[in-house]
Copies of this chain bind each other. A is one copy, B any other.
């Protein structure tokens, strides 16, 4: 895989440099080279919203820093957790005294580093509470939901948590809203090609030409099914059956759809896939209140798509409709 980089061991620093130079309206560098914050943060009286994770998923995570979105992010190496020090620096950057909601994904490294950072934050007098995203239905059975990974549903968890904070919810309220958001989210991905970490130089997993992997993770974690590539219609049917098997939806239920490419997926194909999803949900009487279609949570140059469905109630609906501005998600009305 040919790449547009300088030193493969410095892609994260080099990219952060570009982001901060390009978008002063969204990013202020901090003392920690792996932490950026929204310039107006911390906003007096508002709960700080923090996330963090490995690089290579852009626009996640740093692309969701912005107005009514994340206040600060900790940025890890490609596909690796940020350090505890970076999470701690992000907490400090986001805390106005009203506490910090750390909304992140269920991966061993992130869990460990967030926990260490929280201990130090506690000593420094910063109240931090967490919500751990676990929306990937393919990563563990329904009985072991605590083992499931967080994937693109994290974006909706951030959107909801950040909207709650913007509306003046206190820390427990923000945590409650973000937890409800992710509890109401289910995702599944499908991979049609592998991806290459720049410093490694070759794919660390393999998907054969003509084959696809259902349930593959954002770092190439094994899926639940490998099969020949199917039509977009069959992919939609299969992925919906996993999601709805885990979270049945009644007729009339309102949902948010998030369909994300994995990096190399032509946008045209995301819309072909979307049409198949919408048709099937419509036939069940499920109502799409809002949809996000694009490259929202990627895996470098992987070809594939993820489907995320969030079930709405009145509160989530109100929160998802709050305007927001960030590189990855701008919502005007």
A21 contacts which chain B residues (CB < 8 A)?
274-275, 278
A19 contacts which chain B residues (CB < 8 A)?
271
A19–B59 Cα gap in the complex (Å)?
22
On whether the beta carbons of A273 and B4 are closer than 8 Å, the reply is yes
Q: What is the total number of residues of chain A having a CB less than 8 Å from a CB of chain B?
A: 59
Q: Within the oligomer, what is the number of copies of this chain?
A: 2
On whether the beta carbons of A232 and B6 are closer than 8 Å, the reply is yes
A22–B195 Cα gap in the complex (Å)?
29
Tell me, rounded to whole Å, the shortest Cβ–Cβ distance linking A309 to chain B: 15
> Which residue, of A2, A273, A295, has the highest number of chain B Cβ atoms within 10 A?
A2
On whether the beta carbons of B231 and A272 are closer than 8 Å, the reply is no
Q: When A4-B235, A6-B272 are in contact, do A298 and B266 touch as well, CB less than 8 Å?
A: yes
User: What DSSP secondary structure best describes chain A's contact surface?
Assistant: mixed
Residue of B nearest to A235 (CB): B4
On whether the beta carbons of A5 and B272 are closer than 8 Å, the reply is yes
On whether the beta carbons of B275 and A14 are closer than 8 Å, the reply is yes
A264–B19 Cα gap in the complex (Å)?
19
A212–B1 Cα gap in the complex (Å)?
11
Residue of B nearest to A264 (CB): B264
A298 contacts which chain B residues (CB < 8 A)?
266-267
Choice from B11, B212, B272, B291 contacting A11 with Cβ under 8 Å: B272
A143 at the interface (CB under 8 A from B): no
Tell me, rounded to whole Å, the shortest Cβ–Cβ distance linking A12 to chain B: 8
Choice from B14, B274, B275 contacting A272 with Cβ under 8 Å: B14
On whether the beta carbons of B263 and A4 are closer than 8 Å, the reply is no
A303 contacts which chain B residues (CB < 8 A)?
1-2, 264, 301
A266 contacts which chain B residues (CB < 8 A)?
56, 58, 263, 298, 300-301
Q: Can you sample 9 A-B contacts with CB below 8 Å?
A: A2-B211, A3-B229, A4-B269, A6-B276, A15-B268, A22-B293, A63-B267, A266-B301, A330-B332
